[in-house]
Amino acid sequence: NAGVTQTPKFRILKIGQSMTLQCTQDMNHNYMYWYRQDPGMGLKLIYYSVGAGITDKGEVPNGYNVSRSTTEDFPLRLELAAPSQTSVYFCASTHIRSAIYFGEGSWLTVV
Amino acid sequence: TQLLEQSPQFLSIQEGENLTVYCNSSSVFSSLQWYRQEPGEGPVLLVTVVTGGEVKKLKRLTFQFGDARKDSSLHITAAQPGDTGLYLCAGAPPTSGTYKYIFGTGTRLKVLA
């Protein structure tokens, strides 16, 4: 079972570069999320989506953009990368009254 | 402002000891979830509590939802090294949509053999 798949696993970016973190889920979940986790800390919600074509800001959306053209895919775009965006990023999805299922994480370093 | 505050932030105990982790909020939640995260992995669901005053047990772990549904606790009896990890509570604040899940600040537990 694939579950939630996110790529890349590791990436080093230079300040000012842009990149897209890919996320896909094969569980037909309507709800998808992007979180970031700084070392030793909890997860902060960046953006979320309740269905294809619908996205909304989370707790820390600045510097990021998302799109949800299909139920399966929820890419996260970083524009003009900054050192403050160095973090571990988790994509997740869930269904009604269900657990949140997470991808394996993407380690991003901005130098 | 952090909607879900966890305490303690760090906990290091000996094998066999008991411990309690707290998740507190000033907001009422329709439900709270508890997750455990191991290094290099995503969080994994332990339990969901829904009813005020509810108590759920998962082997040596006991979860309680406060009567007012503003807080929850996780109690581990006779902790083992395998319990080591980051414990996170999560919920969707009622004023922000049913599925806008946010996470608590986390409690990092280390159980020493």
The contacts of residue A102 (CB under 8 Å, 6+ apart) are A4, A90, A91, A92, B42, B43, B44
In percent, the amount of chain B with pLDDT more than 70 equals: 96
Size of interface A-B (CB pairs under 8 A): 57
> By C-alpha distance, which of B106, B13, B101 is closest to A94?
B101
pLDDT digits (tens, 9 = 90+) for A66-75: 999 999 999 9
**3 state DSSP class of B53:** coil
Taking only the tens place, the pLDDT of each residue in B49-87 is 999 999 999 999 999 999 999 999 999 999 999 999 999
In contact, A102 and A6? CB cutoff 8 Å: no
User: How much is the pLDDT for B3?
Assistant: 84
CB B90 within 8 A of CB B35: yes
Those of residues 47-66 in A touching chain B at CB distance below 8 A are 48, 50, 56, 58-59
CA distance A45 to chain B (A): 6
B70 vs B55: CA distance, rounded Å: 14
Q: Does A26 touch chain B (CB under 8 A)?
A: no
Name beta bridge partners: B5: B24
Measured in residues, chain B has a length of 113
What is the rounded average pLDDT of the residues B30-37? 94
**Chain centroid offset of residue A55 CA:** 12
Closest residue of chain B to A46, computed from CA coordinates: B102
Question: What SS3 string covers A39-102?
Answer: CCCCEEEEEEEEECCEEEECCCCCCEEECCCCCCECCEEECCCCHHHCEEEEEEEECCCCCCEE
pLDDT in tens, A19-66: 999 999 999 999 999 999 998 888 999 999 999 999 999 999 999 999
Residues 6+ apart with CB under 8 A from B38: B85, B86
Residue B96: its pLDDT value, please?
Answer: 66
Model confidence at B20: pLDDT above 80: yes
Nearest CB to B108; choose among A33, A40, A105: A40
Q: Distance between CA atoms of A25 and A2, rounded to whole angstroms?
A: 8
